[in-house]
Amino acid sequence: MNRNSTLCVNFGRAATQFVFSIIIVAAIAAEPTIAWAAHPASRISIDASEPGKPISPDLFGIFFEDLNYAADGGLFAELVQNRSFEYQATEQKDWNPLTCWEVVTYGKGRGSLDVDAGRPLHLNNPHYAVLDVAEVGDGVGIRNAGFDGIVVREGETYDVSLFVRQLYVDRRWGGRPIGDEEEFSLIARLEDKQGEPIGETTLRYSGSDWLRAAGEITASRSENDARLVILTKTQGGIALDVVSLFPGNTFRNRPNGLRRDLAEVIAALKPHFVRFPGGCLVHGNGLSNMYRWKDTIGPIHERREQANLWGYHQTVGLGYYEYFRFCEDIGAKPVPVVPAAVCCQNSGYTAGMGQEGLPMAAMADYIQEVLDLVEWANGTADSEWGAKRAEAGNPEPFGLEYLAVGNEDHITPVFEERFRMIAEALAEAHPEITVIGTVGPFPDGPDYEQGWRIANALRLAIVDEHYYRPPDWFLENLSRYDRYDRAKSQVYLGEYAAHERDRRSTLRSALAEAAYMTHLERNGDIVRLASYAPLLAKRGHTQWNPDLIYFNNTDVRPTINYYVQQLFSANSGDEYLTGEMAEGDAVGSIAFSAVRDSQTQDIILKLVNNSGESHPLQIELAGAEQILPTATWQVLTGSPLAVNEFDAREPLTPQESQLAVGESFSYEAPAHSLSVIRIHTQ
Ligand code: AHR
């Protein structure tokens, strides 16, 4: 039996168990006095009479990092790889500026491809390709196969653009002069692996200076492994840079936009906030690799591309403007992270010894850079930086509330001195911004303690905690935040995930996270924000497992853990209702929470059964008024080792139904399950 068929059996069992539970629950709902099971029901009493304890309305969000080809080759919809000829051997040893490109000739055409940096488009974008055409034949061009092939769909349009400069005509030395008005053309063509055309357009340009040329190609058929060819029929030499191909059909049809299917799956999480752009990516591999937000805005050919610390390249085509725009598009608050003026402690493979700080002489400029970010996001369109946002397409401010400084940095004197300078400058210039500090990569230990010491000393609003631990750790630490001092900083649990030994995204790991999340809700007065990490991973290009969503060029596959995040985020509330579980078999097996959404007055009950037995429960809603008899009921259940394999035909997903409820009702929590019961009121 292969792995797939094993899974089907597991899902089959899960489904049977689920149907069985529904029958039992229906019976109980109709006649609550019937004692049906061997176990006596455990009583859960919820006090719904008073407004509950206020909990953060922003609690559940997402963390996006350009890791695992999440941005380039992933969410960022650009289809050409190495579009700006900036790949370097320092990123991958067999890379160079011409990686992913090859010369193609048609008929008797002859040509060669080279790289130059003599007269670049922009200093931030130093390299470009030079195509020398010795003999035209039926055309000479360059070809790019994208990120593992270019996916095109019949009838859809693709926006092609590039910068081109006619260097010489006829021959390199001694060719004739080029007139300012002299016209040239290129053909931009989509073709399959065998060279069969799928669509093309003509791009026109003139003179001998850099010019942008753009057009649209309509695909005549669907193809998952297409190539883009840029073809000339002029003998001579041309320089090419920022050769780009975008689907017209991006998320919300945005130019320079996001891959629609992937963005839609992220949007369906209904995140309340998005933390970006990292992670370790932010503090970078060495000081020169820190993520500097100003390098990521403005025209794409002026952005400064750089190595991605995860072993590849970042075009920053998905830059700060696009991140903020995405947040706005999905109704999530932006939580940008800026480096705390130190690089990653693991820079240069130094195993924790590689942290360096910006020289003190550079700090004034760096602090200004951070302050400028606030003006860029929130300033009026006539402020210096607000004008740049407006020019990019957003005259209205983005409404930045949170700003994280640092990412799980090693807490050293070098860090502390710089962090204090940035945090104090922000507090003085922008008291309206909630600054998020950092307390290291672990749930305890020296960085955690020193990070908290600084937070207490500076009276920081929020600190960012990170931890990746086995499922049992989460179950054993449910009460972690019960003990936190409410007079101190609040917490952003910026990165967490339950890690199985083999790093697979099992139902067991998802349920451990779910149980923990019920307690994040209980502590939603001190835990202000929380996000699972990491979010995205491209198959075949994954540096970190597990991730919430896996994808390739054509498909997107949410894990079981994704559905847990979605169930919590889509069913969050802003009041926590006190609840107690009386003695009974379910104690120790069931984690639960009850929240109210003050807008709708819905009461939302979440029940996580981590045990291998179903548990009968008697639920009492004291003081709840005008409860409607039918609740919305979602259940995620199956074998604890179930995994949504990439090719699974029947992935494990929540099942939705209705449930008869009242002020007192019975419920059977299936073995290994998360149940979400949304109780509506009149
Ligand atoms: O989420 C993956 C990585 O884990 C992040 O980049 C880093 O902050 C943490 O170590």
In this predicted model, what pLDDT tens digit does every residue of 357-399 receive, in sequence order? 999 999 999 999 999 999 999 999 999 999 999 999 999 999 9
Atom of ligand 1 nearest to the CA of 63: 1
**β-bridge mates for residue 404, sequence order:** 337, 436
Question: Measured between alpha carbons, how far is 570 from 526 in angstroms, rounded to an integer?
Answer: 20
Percent of the chain's residues with pLDDT above 90: 91
Give the C-alpha separation, 142 to 199, whole Å.
Answer: 16
Sign of the CA dihedral with 72 first, then 75, 79, and 83 last: negative
Report the pLDDT value the prediction gives residue 4, as an integer from 0 to 100.
30
Question: In this structure, what token pair is assigned to residue 486?
Answer: 């409410």
HSE at residue 130, side-chain half, CA atoms within 13 A, is 16
Q: Establish how many alpha carbons lie within 13 A of residue 61's alpha carbon, considering only the half-sphere containing its beta carbon.
A: 28
Mutate to test the pocket of ligand 1, among 62, 64, 65 (most ligand atoms within 8 A of CB): 65
> Which residues lie with the beta carbon below 6 Å from any ligand 1 atom?
65, 67, 278-280, 407-408, 441, 466, 495, 533-534, 544
What does the alpha-carbon distance between residue 139 and residue 127 come to, in Å, rounded to a whole number?
A: 24
Quote the ligand 1 centre to 197 CA distance (angstroms).
Answer: 43
Q: Which residue, judged by its Cα, is nearest atom 4 of ligand 1?
A: 279
Backbone angles phi, psi at 274, to 5 degrees: -130, 120
Of all atoms in ligand 1, which is nearest to the CA of residue 544? 2
pLDDT reported for residue 175: 79
pLDDT tens-place string over residues 439-493: 999 999 999 999 999 999 999 999 999 999 999 999 999 999 999 999 999 999 9
Whose CA is closest to atom 6 on ligand 1? 279
Q: What are the DSSP calls for 156-190, one per residue?
A: -EEEEEEEEEEEEES-TTTPPP--TT-EEEEEEEE
pTM comes to 0.93
What is the bridge-based pairing of β-strands 402-405 and 211-218?
unpaired
Instruction: Tell me what pLDDT residue 281 has.
Output: 98
pLDDT per residue as tens digits for the range 126-168? 999 999 999 999 999 999 999 999 999 999 999 999 999 999 9
Q: Which residue's alpha carbon is nearest to atom 5 within ligand 1? A: 279
Q: Ligand 1 centroid vs 496 CA: distance in angstroms?
A: 9
Which pLDDT belongs to residue 18?
Answer: 33
- Are 469 and 443 in contact, with CB atoms under 8 Å apart? yes
Least confident of 19-28, 54-63, 407-416: 19-28
Q: What is the pLDDT of residue 584?
A: 74
Segment 205-231 mean pLDDT: 98
CA separation for the pair 154, 139 (Å, rounded): 26
- In the reported structure, the alpha carbon of residue 124 is separated from the centroid of ligand 1 by a whole-number distance in angstroms of 28
Does pLDDT of 239 surpass 50?
A: yes
Catalytic residue list contains 613: no
* Nearest residue (CA) to ligand 1, atom 7: 279
Question: From the alpha carbon of 533, which atom of ligand 1 is closest?
Answer: 1
Distance 280 CA to ligand 1 centre (A): 6
Kindly indicate the confidence band of residue 38, based on its pLDDT and cuts at 50, 70 and 90.
low
Asked if residue 62 has pLDDT above 80, the reply is: yes
Chain mean pLDDT for the chain: 93
Q: Which two tokens stand for residue 633?
A: 């009921």
Distance 495 CA to ligand 1 centre (A): 7
Mutate to test the pocket of ligand 1, among 337, 495, 545, 549 (most ligand atoms within 8 A of CB): 495
Whole-number Å distance between alpha carbons of 354 and 338: 19
Measured distance between the N- and C-terminal CA atoms of the chain, rounded to whole angstroms: 52
Distance 528 CA to ligand 1 centre (A): 20
Residue-wise DSSP of 74-124: TTB---STTTTS---TTTSTT--TTTTEEEEEETT-EEEEEEE-SS-SBTT
Q: Which of 68, 408, 545 to mutate to test the pocket of ligand 1 (most atoms within 8 A of CB)?
A: 408
Q: Taking 50 as the threshold, does the pLDDT of residue 554 lie above it?
A: yes
Q: What is the pLDDT of residues 295-341, one digit of tens each?
A: 999 999 999 999 999 999 999 999 999 999 999 999 999 999 999 99
Tokens 């609840």 belong to which residue? 579
Residue 293 Cα, ligand 1 centroid: separation in angstroms?
Answer: 19
CA–CA distance, 548 with 536 (Å, rounded to integer): 6
Query: What is the C-alpha to C-alpha distance for residues 644 and 4, in angstroms, rounded to an integer?
Result: 10
Measured by CA distance, the residue closest to atom 3 of ligand 1 is 279
Q: Which residues are within 8 A (CB) of 651 and not within 5 positions of it... i.e. 6 or more apart?
A: 557, 558, 560, 644, 645
Distance 283 CA to ligand 1 centre (A): 11
Nearest-atom index, ligand 1, CA of 278: 6
Bridge partners of residue 162, in order along the sequence: 213
- What pLDDT does residue 112 have? 98
Q: What is the DSSP string of 29-69?
A: HH-TT---SSSPPEEEEEE-SS--EE--TT-EEEE--S-TT
- Please answer whether residues 528 and 486 qualify as being in contact, where contact means their C-beta atoms are separated by less than 8 angstroms: no
Amino acid 39: pLDDT? 66
The per-residue pLDDT for 173 is 86
| Ligand 1 pocket test target in 62, 67, 409 with most atoms within 8 Å of CB | 67
Distance 246 CA to ligand 1 centre (A): 29
Ligand 1 atom index nearest CA of 534: 1
Given a cut of 80, whether residue 604 has pLDDT beyond it is yes
User: What is the three-class DSSP state of 362?
Assistant: helix
**Whose CA is closest to atom 8 on ligand 1?**
279
Chain centre distance of CA 33: 48
Residue 28: predicted pLDDT: 33
Determine which residue's CA is closest to atom 1 belonging to ligand 1.
Answer: 534
Mean pLDDT to the nearest integer, 529-537: 98
Distance CA 666, CA 26 (A): 9
Q: Whose CA is nearest to atom 9 of ligand 1?
A: 279
**Which carries the bigger pLDDT value, residue 120 or residue 14?**
120
Mutation probe of ligand 1 site: the residue of 410, 544, 545, 548 with most atoms within 8 A of C-beta: 544
Q: Report strand pairing: 128-135 vs 236-247.
A: antiparallel
CA of 339 to the centre of ligand 1 (A): 14
For the cut 50, the answer to whether the pLDDT of residue 21 exceeds it is no
Torsion of CA 273, 277, 279, 282, to 10 degrees: -140
Q: Please give the average per-residue pLDDT across 506-525, as a whole number.
A: 98
Note the pLDDT tens digit of each residue in 262-272. Answer: 999 999 999 99
| Tokens 């990569």, residue located | 441
pLDDT band of residue 8 (cuts 50, 70, 90) is: very low
**Which entry of 65, 305, 408, 668 is annotated as an active-site residue?**
408
| 233: helix, strand or coil | coil
Distance CA(238)–CA(163), nearest Å, equals: 10
